[in-house]
Structure 1
Amino acid sequence: MTAIDRTRAAAAFKTYTDAYDAANPRIALKIEHTYHVAEACDAVAREQGWSPQDIDLAWLCGLLHDMGRFEQLRRWDTFKDAESMSHAALGVEVLFGETPAGAPAATSIRDFIDNPAEDELIRASIAYHSDFRLPAQLDERTRRFCDIVRDGDKIDIMRTIADSTVDTILKVDEDTFLASRFSTPALAAFDERRCVARDERDEAADYLVGLICFMFELVYPASRALAREQGDIYRLLDAPFGIVRPFTDPATRATWERLKKEMRAWLAGA
């Protein structure tokens, strides 16, 4: 097993991101998100009883999972993959390919870890972290690391959203959000206890359903425990985006009350 120098890896990450404008709140958000995901991967791996070497590797995969976000924002001024390119694929390019043209900083996987023995596993954990489903052909060990990165990412996305305004995340004001309704496909996903696919989100309210559905697909028991302990899922249920006013439409309001009740019951048994 390859030894990982966390101090060196963290310094390499900081060197890379220092070339981007941390005064930009979206850059600052992704830097903070990265550290939180790495620590979540560490915490879950420890609770699941992984070896010290695998705990370090889980932490590193978490640290590297969103490396493509910084170039995505620089090139396209968006975090939306549909309006740019897959940030996961871009992360693989940044770490395992040539430096993108015009990039303010260069880095490679060798800046983070000398031995290439785990390169394919690390590459997979980055490439597939935001996919709706993992490829079926992954070997068991690679799947474990992909799962832990995906869990850590979901856990911290809930924190990020709970700390943000609806305007920041969805580019709509509170009144518009509260006037939106739940689409049938998004509600079907909730009732099936699974994540909501991108093409199943039609209205602003669907985004909220998608967020709380993250809980259903956390793979590791330690991930579910960590999410409950951190409490961001409860903040999303009680005051999504910090909004305490109810949905405008009575039917939408009633549906949201049902979803909250069912999610709380599910969390109690998760």
Structure 2
Amino acid sequence: MDFAKAAHAFQEYLKDYDQNNDKVKLKIVHTYGVVRQAEEVCRRKNLGPEDTELAKIIALLHDIGRFEQLKQFDSFEPSTMDHAAYGVKILFQESMIRRFLNEDQWDDIIRTAIAKHSDFILEDVSDPRTLLHAKLIRDADKLDNFRVKLEDDFMTFMGITEEETGTLKISPGIYETVFRNSTILSSDRITKMDYWVSYIVHIFDLNFRESMDIVAENNYIQRLIQRVPYSDPDTARKMQEIQKHAENYVMEFQESPFL
């Protein structure tokens, strides 16, 4: 495996897309952020060089389908395109994977990890090494997504401002889902506040203590919640309760003897 070769091929692939588009730029930066997070989780887990390199290549390619989605629809909405399925199609059905990787011995792991990286629940993976990498990419993706939602232009990924978001209500079903320690189905979101809450509760889908340590070290929960000024009093109260619940979950996860 040669990550440098894969990264060069990725830059060539991006030439077909408008890299001045804010959404495209966001996804390019996100891709390399996921690579860094994957490498960091591997380091903390003391994984070997081969698994680390494999995790980085999966991270590099995990969102390759997003760029065509943005080109066709200018949208991240899952209703416009299943970007994971499209990524698997162009990589493996159209053999694009060989641009990034000469060897085929890791193809099954890469295919499964990319195909399942945005599934609501990770299931139906029995091979231990494939499961490891499927979990790694899901964690690395969410860890950089926290950075995106904290640092990037709010209008680019939300379509409205922080101030406008803070005037809105959290739907009752979304609020209740948080306290079941569950992530939120895209199709269940109604208001833009629902979207905002759904990004924060990605913590409930993290797999590794090392990933949760990164969340705690960066104080992501508090910082994310404080990014939006909640002018609606009911929303402000509920977000305080969500913050307390989420921070307790992080602490309990870190302290669990079974991880």
Cross-structure match for 1:218: 206
Instruction: Write the letter of the residue equivalent to 2:171.
Output: S
Aligned residue for 2:79, secondary structure, equals: helix
Aligned residue for 1:66, secondary structure, equals: coil
Matched-pair contact (CA < 8 Å) for 2:163–2:230: no
Cross-structure match for 2:107: 119
2: CA distance between counterparts of 1:24 and 1:252? Answer: 33
Of residues 18-27 and 224-233 in structure 1, the stretch that sits farther from structure 2 once superposed is 224-233
Matched-pair contact (CA < 8 Å) for 2:171–2:194: yes
Query: Closer, same or farther in 2 for the Cα pair 1:235/1:206, shift >3 Å?
Result: same
2: CA distance between counterparts of 1:165 and 1:17? Answer: 21
Q: Does 1:261 align with 2:236?
A: no
Query: Closer, same or farther in 2 for the Cα pair 1:167/1:144, shift >3 Å?
Result: same
Which string of whole-angstrom CA distances, capped at 9 and with x for unpartnered residues, describes residues 153-198 of structure 1?
1111111111234433222344542221112221222101121111
Q: Does 1:92 align with 2:88?
A: yes
Cross-structure match for 1:15: 12
Q: Does 1:53 align with 2:50?
A: yes
Q: Does 1:75 align with 2:62?
A: no
Normalising by structure 2, report the TM-score.
Answer: 0.91
Which string of whole-angstrom CA distances, capped at 9 and with x for unpartnered residues, describes residues 48-94 of structure 1?
121211111111111110011111111222222202x2000111122
Q: Does 1:37 align with 2:25?
A: no
Matched-pair contact (CA < 8 Å) for 1:41–1:148: yes
Cross-structure match for 2:146: 158
Of residues 222-231 and 151-160 in structure 1, the stretch that sits farther from structure 2 once superposed is 222-231
Matched-pair contact (CA < 8 Å) for 1:166–1:177: no
1: CA distance between counterparts of 2:159 and 2:47? Answer: 41
- Decide which of 231, 240, 247 is 2:231's aligned counterpart: 247
Cross-structure match for 2:2: 5
In structure 2, runs of 5+ residues without a counterpart are 255-259
Cross-structure match for 2:178: 190
How far off its partner does 1:216 sit?
1.8
2: CA distance between counterparts of 1:129 and 1:237? Answer: 25
Q: Does 1:64 align with 2:61?
A: yes
Of residues 193-202 and 174-183 in structure 1, the stretch that sits farther from structure 2 once superposed is 174-183
**Superposition map of 1:103-118 within 5 A:** 108-118=96-106
Matched-pair contact (CA < 8 Å) for 1:67–1:91: yes
Normalising by structure 1, report the TM-score.
Answer: 0.87
Query: Closer, same or farther in 2 for the Cα pair 1:137/1:266, shift >3 Å?
Result: closer
Cross-structure match for 1:143: 131
Aligned residue for 2:190, secondary structure, equals: coil
1: CA distance between counterparts of 2:109 and 2:14? Answer: 23
Query: Closer, same or farther in 2 for the Cα pair 1:184/1:219, shift >3 Å?
Result: same
Instruction: Write the letter of the residue equivalent to 1:81.
Output: P
| Aligned-residue CA RMSD (Å) | 1.8
Cross-structure match for 2:257: none
2: CA distance between counterparts of 1:9 and 1:44? Answer: 20
2: CA distance between counterparts of 1:26 and 1:169? Answer: 7
1: CA distance between counterparts of 2:93 and 2:247? Answer: 45
1: CA distance between counterparts of 2:230 and 2:167? Answer: 10
In structure 1, runs of 5+ residues without a counterpart are 99-106
2: CA distance between counterparts of 1:195 and 1:32? Answer: 24
Cross-structure match for 2:157: 169
Instruction: Write the letter of the residue equivalent to 2:57.
Output: L
Which string of whole-angstrom CA distances, capped at 9 and with x for unpartnered residues, describes residues 77-119 of structure 1?
2222202x20001111221123xxxxxxxx8111221111110
